[in-house]
């Protein structure tokens, strides 16, 4: 996924700032920042305390700009850059009040999206010598779907469907309600012949049904490695194969050599460990 457009980013950041300022984007609502002289100017830097893959530059920039357009930021990194601990990410200058009001919102986006990009990079690096690719899921933080999926690509991963509108993922309940795998796949291809059809299966019998029905992708849900190998042999390249469920670091090594096309993991976006960032401020004069 490419970076969301700036209007989308500004909308997200505005909501976050309003949450911090009592419901309206009024920087004067920051009662602690109001302790500082209104004319005070400051310089600041954002530093990472740990190795990471950077993501969220435009979200952090928007936070400072929406609070006070007089704030200036000079970035020393860009999204997707891999940096080491104690790297200075940017230099900020402008009204001290505005910098401190925007600080937490800016860091929240930057640390969260960098966390997603960093863990994705780790997973992708394990598979770097394999044709298998790591995918995200829809298990994203509410309101951050596009942002986190962008972060996944910054870390070297690929996106599964964005939402419920751009691809089919026919699961157990859909199969039951449609009267079987074949019926569900047939209806999907009739309704939207231009969209990929994926079926989630729980055993080799269901896999055979999905393949016979013409599914474009079959997700092997919670299969062990022996079952996955049997599915690869049965498939003979007919459809794309995706593995999901119980994806650990150790399993990634073995799965990358079996011959599946994709491994999907909700951990990329739902088990987010924010990167430890620090903003340091010094007053001018």
pLDDT tens sequence for the chain (285 residues): 789 999 999 999 999 999 999 999 999 999 999 999 999 999 999 999 999 999 999 999 999 999 999 999 999 999 999 999 999 999 999 999 999 999 999 999 999 999 999 999 999 999 999 999 999 999 999 999 999 999 999 999 999 999 999 999 999 999 999 999 999 999 999 999 999 999 999 999 999 999 999 999 999 999 999 999 999 999 989 999 999 988 888 888 889 889 899 999 999 999 999 999 999 999 986
CA 178 to chain centre: 32
Q: What is the largest CA-CA distance in the chain?
A: 74
151 vs 96: CA distance, rounded Å: 30
Could you give the residue numbers annotated as active site?
A: 104, 139, 171, 200, 221
**Quick check: helix, strand or coil at residue 91?**
strand
- The pair of three-digit structure tokens given for residue 111, joined into one six-digit string: 């640390």
Q: How many helices (H) and strands (E) does the chain have?
A: 10, 12
Q: What pLDDT does 285 receive?
A: 66
How confident is the model at residue 248, as a pLDDT? 82
Return all residues near 39 (Cβ < 8 A) that are at least 6 apart: none
Instruction: Please give the structure tokens belonging to residue 34.
Output: 């109001």
Angstrom distances, CA of residue 222 to CA of 240, 246, 264: 17, 7, 11
Cα separation of 150 and 102, whole Å? 23
- How many CB atoms lie under 10 A from the CB of residue 162? 15
Q: Which residues, in sequence order, are CB contacts of 157 under 8 Å at separation 6+?
A: 120, 123, 124, 133, 134, 135, 136, 268
């Amino acid at each position: 996924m490419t970076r969301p457009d700036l209007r989308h980013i500004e909308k997200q950041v505005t909501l976050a700032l309003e949450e911090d300022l009592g419901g309206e984007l009024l920087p004067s609502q920051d009662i602690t920042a109001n302790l500082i002289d209104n004319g005070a100017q400051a310089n600041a830097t954002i530093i990472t305390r740990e190795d990471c893959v950077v993501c969220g530059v435009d979200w952090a920039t928007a936070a400072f700009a929406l609070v006070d357009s007089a704030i200036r930021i000079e970035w020393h990194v860009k999204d997707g850059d891999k940096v080491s601990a104690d790297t200075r990410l940017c230099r900020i200058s402008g009204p001290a009040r505005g910098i401190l009001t925007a600080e937490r919102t800016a860091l929240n986006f930057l640390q969260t999206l960098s966390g997603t990009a960093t863990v994705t990079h780790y997973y992708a690096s394990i598979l770097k010598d394999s044709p298998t690719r790591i995918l995200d899921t829809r298990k994203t933080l509410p309101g951050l779907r596009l942002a986190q999926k962008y972060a996944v690509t910054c870390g070297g991963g690929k996106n599964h469907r964005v939402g419920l509108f751009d691809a089919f993922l026919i699961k157990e309940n859909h199969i039951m309600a449609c009267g079987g795998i074949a019926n569900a796949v047939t209806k999907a291809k009739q309704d939207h012949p231009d969209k990929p059809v994926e079926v989630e299966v729980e055993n080799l019998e269901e896999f055979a049904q999905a393949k016979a029905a013409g599914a474009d992708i079959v997700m092997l849900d919670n299969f062990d490695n022996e079952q996955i190998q049997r599915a690869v042999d049965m498939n003979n390249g007919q459809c794309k194969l995706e593995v999901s469920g119980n994806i650990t670091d150790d399993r990634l090594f073995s799965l990358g050599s079996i011959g599946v096309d994709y491994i999907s993991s909700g951990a990329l976006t739902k088990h987010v460990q924010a990167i430890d960032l620090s903003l340091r401020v010094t007053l001018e004069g």
